[in-house]
Structure 1
């Protein structure tokens, strides 16, 4: 991210990791960063499909029969994977958002240029689709089995789409607030990739057996389209965006409170 301060209309001085690329110069193409996002999201989804293929397929030698421990393992692996992608040279170049809701969050926090949000979103969605298709190509028909279903995040049986929407929105709102903390404290950005990776891993481990724990439209769209299972897809696509908006509202209220306290001084 570029230098500046929250509330000034300029981006805070936050590390590029999960914080957007340096603010583009006038006339530069945000599609360059979007192309990197596409590639990174493709890698992410290929690895997610791979994890689900090996841990949830009953024929796999490392099959975990109980769903909660299996998704706990997936959450731990995803946390490590995300840290690696964020800290990679490509991740530092684009910011490694890997999620349209992250890009929206940072834009609403004035930490990411608005004109790059659409290109990043398109890149992330296409990358999610490409990575899922690559998983099918590499691992074969087992990926489309009922147990794996292209790595689709699924709610528990009987859970309504509305409850999925609420849980997914709440989980991303919490993630948005975590991101906001680092946006407001640029000196503490070094542990940011680890904190974000851990938070996403916990969302998968805790909410995976309940709502699916996707919290990412780009993570859900590819598996849903390729598997043909669009159960609660509208909730998975829209809830993280609402969560981003809610988290940013709380963030701005908090920032105004900090500014007011700084102006007034101790009472």
Structure 2
């Protein structure tokens, strides 16, 4: 299966939502729109829950990010199950596209267009949030929805946690790629894991686990703290998840091939 519920055998030849043999830009355009919606909603959550002047402000950061994590989980499930999400696969994250490609569940020729679409969508969604909610998003407390590490957390520490975060997501994807018959709960499992990452690691490393989620706020706010770590660590996590996937699959293939006398 693919991230949005499309079977691996369908995706291996062409990305979902595309005419077989056509350029993958149609699916990439959908990814751009879906990622823009995601980021606008994330920026909106940050604006209302983390702004001290908001009537919905939650002073306890851990509780606030727990609420954000729960809302993002619901949002992701909705986007994955939406008709556009089913059409493109609803990756919403360049590292997801790379992970699926490394697991041979997504064509290599679609990775760059999808990643470009997702990154542009992240920029567009963040810019739309700034346009709608105004200068309040420029405050130091909000920084246009930027995911930020805890004070004193080094860039290498952020890199390690962000890589581990996405490795967890990649392992979840690997399970569903290896067991396409169990794909029905996939959107809910993905939403739950991403929500937990935000809730548990948000106060520590920022809990982004998505280059498209961080690039937009960084570009709009002009803040580049540990940006290299946020942009690169998820890809290491994708590679680690794919490595475990292949080791698991190779053992599975060997066990199936072995027939006792």
TM-score class, shorter: over 0.9
1:76 paired residue number: 70
Using the alignment, how far apart are the partners of 1:221 and 1:126 within structure 2?
9
Any unmatched runs of 5+ in structure 1? 3-9, 15-19
Aligned residues: 254
Alignment check: 8 A CA contact 2:18 2:24 kept = no
Deviation at 1:12, TM superposition (A): 3.8
60 and 266 in structure 1: CA distance in 2 versus 1, 3 angstrom threshold = farther
Alignment check: 8 A CA contact 1:37 1:96 kept = yes
Alignment check: 8 A CA contact 1:38 1:128 kept = yes
Match among 11, 17, 22 for residue 8 of structure 2? 11
Are residue 154 (structure 1) and residue 135 (structure 2) matched? Answer: no
How do 1:1-267 residues align onto structure 2 when only pairs under 5 Å count? 11-12=8-9, 21=16, 25-26=20-21, 28-265=22-259
Using the alignment, how far apart are the partners of 1:13 and 1:255 within structure 2?
19
Deviation at 1:13, TM superposition (A): 6.0
261 and 229 in structure 1: CA distance in 2 versus 1, 3 angstrom threshold = same
Any unmatched runs of 5+ in structure 2? none
Q: Name the TM-score, length of structure 2 as normaliser.
A: 0.94
Deviation at 1:196, TM superposition (A): 0.3
Using the alignment, how far apart are the partners of 1:22 and 1:45 within structure 2?
22
Q: Name the TM-score, length of structure 1 as normaliser.
A: 0.92
Alignment check: 8 A CA contact 1:87 1:193 kept = yes
Deviations 1:107-151 (A, max 9, x none): 011101100000000000000000000000011111111111110
Deviations 1:213-255 (A, max 9, x none): 0000000001001111100000000000010001100110000
Using the alignment, how far apart are the partners of 2:197 and 2:211 within structure 1?
14
Using the alignment, how far apart are the partners of 2:223 and 2:183 within structure 1?
38
- Moved beyond 4 Å, runs of 4+: none
262 and 35 in structure 1: CA distance in 2 versus 1, 3 angstrom threshold = same
Using the alignment, how far apart are the partners of 1:11 and 1:226 within structure 2?
36
Using the alignment, how far apart are the partners of 2:67 and 2:260 within structure 1?
47
264 and 151 in structure 1: CA distance in 2 versus 1, 3 angstrom threshold = same
